[in-house]
Structure 1
Amino acid sequence: MKNLIPSFSLPKLPVGKAGVVLGSVIAGQWIVTDLVHVPSGGLAFLAAGAGIWFLSKPSVGSFAAPSTVKGWIKRCNEVLKQFESLEDPSEHFNNSEERSNSLKEVISRETPQSLSVISTTGQVLPELNLLESAVTCSKPLKLSCSSSLPINNQSWEFPNNFFEQDLIVYYLPLPLRAVDLLWLKTIPNDLPSWIMVSTDQSEDWPSQLKALNSQLPERWVNRILKWNDNPEHLKQVLTPVRRSLEQSKTNTDKTCQRLLSRLHSSWQADLETLRREKFRVIQNRSQWIVAGAVFASPVPSTDLLSVAVVNGLMIQEMGSLWSCSFKPELLNAVARQLAMAALAQGVVEWSGQALLGVAKLHGGTWLAAGAMQALSAAYLTRVVGTSMADWMALNNGVAKPDLDLLKLQAPELIAKAAEKEKVDWSSFVIQSKNWIKGQVVNQENIQAQLS
């Protein structure tokens, strides 16, 4: 059975170096399993070990995300153009105005910087006039207090109205409760925040602080403010907050970026749904072109060449669908990692065994025509295509992918892709039966013409 992974070809050669290595493995597996009858599972293990020296060559990459308001605006406008190319014209006409208005609403925010002191339902916060006096600075400020975070919640999602604040002070009663820990974890990391605890002077504060730091996420280290309930000391306690408020332009810019990032993420989720629908069409077409190429080719190396070319075309279409501008050598590096993960997890062996049931439908025709290898190649195309789609979704909008991170992601990407396709296995089997029947009919027609 052939392991036909080389979906990502080099720009000048139909099959890249990864394809050469895999081609040798595939040809060897075909000879040993079909002629010498060595179990394929052991061969797959040896193949993975033999190819690891090549497939695990290190690659370096880095992410490039917007770091300014202008950068996020540009990114959002790019996403709007992608909707135009993917959506049905009538749907796009109805949705584009709403999206544009959402973007304008964020960009046009001109309110003064805002600070909100928050806590869970039932907690008594310092009086608003005391807080106003304690955080008075030279910059305009909109201050609010709210004890509205529910102590029982299903979603534990940070409320939108707090998400839009420029700074947050979370009033935390001691000892630490599970509900407070859950809410603290929902506060965005890029939202400047502090924790204010109320404690009596007689308490052993160093011990309390040590215990608190051991229970809280690391982001809250050096962000805990101690207050002894004395109104006269509140201004001193909130000194770090007051200093931060002096940087109003920085604070409002960060909030604008955070809101644009959130809007961008929402749009990307909608885009991903559209892309997956169109990807399925590309995937289904490509897998049967691959199956046909393998079915018609009498020599394993020729099969490999056909699959590499077809899968290369599939990846080009996917790159256009995900607005991917990565260079061919980067895609080749991605291919090496995904190939290694697929080999190690035995995707082809599993699909071949599972397809034996379909084989029984056409007895001698199956074995004579090599349909087993063809359908395994088709299924492998599905898995690799799905894992590549997942990777493109993860790296959408970055200038250069983090290939060191990919080494860690590749096994999980392949595993998730294989699991997704297993869920849709019945659909693939039905398609396989129809494809086999079509090949049988074609052969019968050819034999009739020859006779």
Structure 2
Amino acid sequence: MVKRQYWLLGGGLSLAAGLWLMDGLTHTLVQVGELTFTGAAALVGVWWLYQRSTRTANPGTPDPGLTRAQVDQTLHQTQQVLDALSQELQPDLSHHVPLQAQALTLQTQKNHLSLDCDRPQLRLAVVGGTAVGKSTLIQGLQQRWTGTPTLDCQEQTLALGQDPQYWQQFDLILFVTPGDLTESDRQWLQGLRHGVGGSTDPQSSLPSPALVVALNKLDHYSPGQQATLLTQLCHRLQGWVDPVNIVPIAAAPDPIQVRRQSSDGTWHQSQEQPDPALSPLIDRLGDLLQGDPGQQLLWGTSYRLAQGLQRSAHTALNQVRRDRAMALIDRYQWLAAGAAFLNPVPSVDLLAALALNGQLILELSRLYHKPLALHQGQELAATLGELLVKLGLVEISTQALASVLKTNGLTFWAGSGLQGVSAAYLTRMAGLSLVEYFQSLEGEAEATTPAIVERLRPILHQVFSLHGQTERLQAFGQTAVAHLKGLQPQAKSPLLY
């Protein structure tokens, strides 16, 4: 791969040097046929370079590892998530009207996608800036493409603010440029490179469609410039777009002046329109779209779309479950607050144990369909309490809340009231961390408490950092104080362990 790319770059430079020499001579040569001698030499030379690269290897062909069974399995998994979403929406339809509408839309898209795997057409997005020749190129492709499957070519103007998920629907993207890449071109292509979704995180990005780059309007440049441009594009896209998928074309060559000698020896000059030079692109598309490679592209599109639907369904499902989880967390945080307020504890260790109730952990695990055993929930509560103390999160939170309460003139709450607010806060932070943990699971929960704690450790840090901001602490402290004011300190309540 690397050797072939370097050979291509070297060949491009050599071709450029040779054509520059020829260019100096062509001004005195007679123009014949439909292309000038210079233009013909340039196009033939570039085409020769292209043919050499295609014979060496064919790495631009879609990955043959994807099978129809994998696509069907992904569609089945997507349906399972949609079924779970529909089932969990039923008890609270009135509270989740937007999510209900989204679930119906996702189900419709999934039903359509199940049929889309066998469609007879391949979808091509012909993308580029303004006046790069997209419309003319589409016309030329429609007139000259005689292969199977048929092509559904859709013209798309380059737009940086466009929803990146839009490009998931296409089997192949044909990017058209009349010269070197502009800054807008590079930004758009860079977003596509990182997966449709524009994220640099491979966990959150989906693979992008196949990409072919067409260097159009080749007839506007001298032979040396033509070869230089091709070499520049290969260099800029090296390691991402294989040179075999960077194709030189002239979709609508400018008219040329042709001189012909009559039988009486006189010369006549006329203007003629050359035929479009699309053969390299037609041949490359034939390699990519016909037979098994084309089937792979179609399956790849269905696979990407199914993955996207599955993620959207998971997001909606997690939203439903998160709403219910927050109700649980609210209930248990106020129970912990009341217990600490009415039964002050002497140490941060007991405060942490009070805040982490094993029953909350069990209820959250059942809510997310990752059920834990009773003993595992109790053990996890104790272990997490110890972790909160070791990480210093209990002490830090208590000090921060004391500062917030004092700033608001609530010094009365420096004793049992502060412990009540702290217990509620720790319960909330632990509950939110558990929600993030369960939402991150793709399979079953870890089998052992140490494994769960290891996954929870960075999540705890993230949640405490996010919610430890002064504004959030002030808002929570005021809410907690308002709640505790209704309790009677003389009353006794058992500690919540």
Is 1:103 paired with 2:113?
A: no
Aligned with residue 87 of structure 2, among 84, 90, 104: 84
Shift of 1:293: 4.3
Aligned with residue 482 of structure 2, among 434, 439, 443: 434
Is this contact kept in 1: 2:245–2:284, CA < 8 A? Answer: no
> CA 1:283–1:132 in 2, change beyond 3 Å: closer, same or farther?
same
2: CA distance, partners of 1:243 / 1:376: 66
2: CA distance, partners of 1:135 / 1:347: 69
> CA 1:362–1:426 in 2, change beyond 3 Å: closer, same or farther?
closer
Q: Which one scores higher on RCO, CA 8 angstroms, separation ≥ 6?
A: 1
> CA 1:79–1:148 in 2, change beyond 3 Å: closer, same or farther?
same
Aligned with residue 315 of structure 2, among 264, 269, 279: 269
1: CA distance, partners of 2:338 / 2:232: 70
> CA 1:326–1:349 in 2, change beyond 3 Å: closer, same or farther?
same
Is 1:165 paired with 2:170?
A: yes
Instruction: Give the secondary structure class of the aligned counterpart of 2:237.
Output: helix
Is this contact kept in 2: 1:283–1:382, CA < 8 A? Answer: yes
Shift of 1:382: 1.9
1:257 maps to a residue whose letter is Y
Please give the root-mean-square deviation of Cα atoms over the aligned residues, in Å.
4.3
Is this contact kept in 2: 1:113–1:251, CA < 8 A? Answer: no
Deviations 1:393-447 (A, max 9, x none): 3x2544678x99x9899657633554246454344212321344244x241x57x
> CA 1:261–1:433 in 2, change beyond 3 Å: closer, same or farther?
same
Map 1:87-166; keep pairs closer than 5 Å.
87=90, 88-89=92-93, 95=101, 97-109=104-116, 110-116=118-124, 117-125=126-134, 127-128=137-138, 130-132=140-142, 136-137=146-147, 139-150=148-159, 155-158=161-164, 160=166, 162-166=167-171
2:305 maps to a residue whose letter is L
Aligned with residue 279 of structure 2, among 235, 257, 266: 235
Is this contact kept in 2: 1:166–1:191, CA < 8 A? Answer: yes
Instruction: Give the secondary structure class of the aligned counterpart of 1:220.
Output: coil
Question: What residue in structure 2 maps to residue 41 of structure 1?
Answer: none
Question: What residue in structure 2 maps to residue 178 of structure 1?
Answer: 183
Shift of 1:176: 1.2
Is this contact kept in 2: 1:171–1:196, CA < 8 A? Answer: yes
Percent of matched pairs sharing the same residue: 17
Deviations 1:275-319 (A, max 9, x none): 3322221221222233344452646455554444x1x33233333
2: CA distance, partners of 1:223 / 1:336: 57
Instruction: Give the secondary structure class of the aligned counterpart of 1:355.
Output: helix
Instruction: Give the secondary structure class of the aligned counterpart of 2:119.
Output: coil
Deviations 1:122-148 (A, max 9, x none): 2213534643577654x3222315153
Aligned with residue 316 of structure 1, among 356, 362, 365: 362
> CA 1:76–1:305 in 2, change beyond 3 Å: closer, same or farther?
same
Give the aligned length: 363
1:372 maps to a residue whose letter is L
2: CA distance, partners of 1:171 / 1:343: 58
2: CA distance, partners of 1:222 / 1:343: 56
Is this contact kept in 2: 1:84–1:92, CA < 8 A? Answer: no
Shift of 1:256: 1.6
Shift of 1:208: 0.8
1: CA distance, partners of 2:230 / 2:484: 74
1:171 maps to a residue whose letter is V
2: CA distance, partners of 1:128 / 1:163: 20
Question: What residue in structure 2 maps to residue 226 of structure 1?
Answer: 247
2: CA distance, partners of 1:196 / 1:330: 60
Q: For the pair shown, which has the larger CA radius of gyration, 1 or 2?
A: 2
Shift of 1:159: 7.1
> CA 1:334–1:184 in 2, change beyond 3 Å: closer, same or farther?
farther
Is this contact kept in 1: 2:172–2:210, CA < 8 A? Answer: yes
> CA 1:81–1:385 in 2, change beyond 3 Å: closer, same or farther?
same
TM-score norm. by structure 1 comes to 0.65
Question: What residue in structure 1 maps to residue 237 of structure 2?
Answer: 213
Is this contact kept in 2: 1:318–1:389, CA < 8 A? Answer: yes
Is this contact kept in 2: 1:170–1:194, CA < 8 A? Answer: yes
1: CA distance, partners of 2:157 / 2:403: 60
Instruction: Give the secondary structure class of the aligned counterpart of 2:179.
Output: coil
Deviations 1:66-93 (A, max 9, x none): 9533333333333332342245245779
Question: What residue in structure 1 maps to residue 399 of structure 2?
Answer: 352
Question: What residue in structure 1 maps to residue 12 of structure 2?
Answer: none
Is this contact kept in 1: 2:175–2:213, CA < 8 A? Answer: yes
> CA 1:329–1:432 in 2, change beyond 3 Å: closer, same or farther?
closer
Question: What residue in structure 1 maps to residue 270 of structure 2?
Answer: none
> CA 1:431–1:128 in 2, change beyond 3 Å: closer, same or farther?
closer
Is this contact kept in 2: 1:120–1:149, CA < 8 A? Answer: yes
> CA 1:91–1:307 in 2, change beyond 3 Å: closer, same or farther?
closer
Deviates more, 1:290-299 or 1:73-82: 290-299
> CA 1:385–1:205 in 2, change beyond 3 Å: closer, same or farther?
same
* Gapped regions of structure 2 (runs ≥ 5): 1-68, 197-206, 252-274, 493-497
Question: What residue in structure 1 maps to residue 38 of structure 2?
Answer: none
2: CA distance, partners of 1:330 / 1:212: 55
> CA 1:141–1:274 in 2, change beyond 3 Å: closer, same or farther?
same
Is this contact kept in 2: 1:158–1:183, CA < 8 A? Answer: no
Aligned with residue 196 of structure 1, among 204, 211, 214: 214
Is this contact kept in 2: 1:134–1:235, CA < 8 A? Answer: no
1: CA distance, partners of 2:434 / 2:169: 35
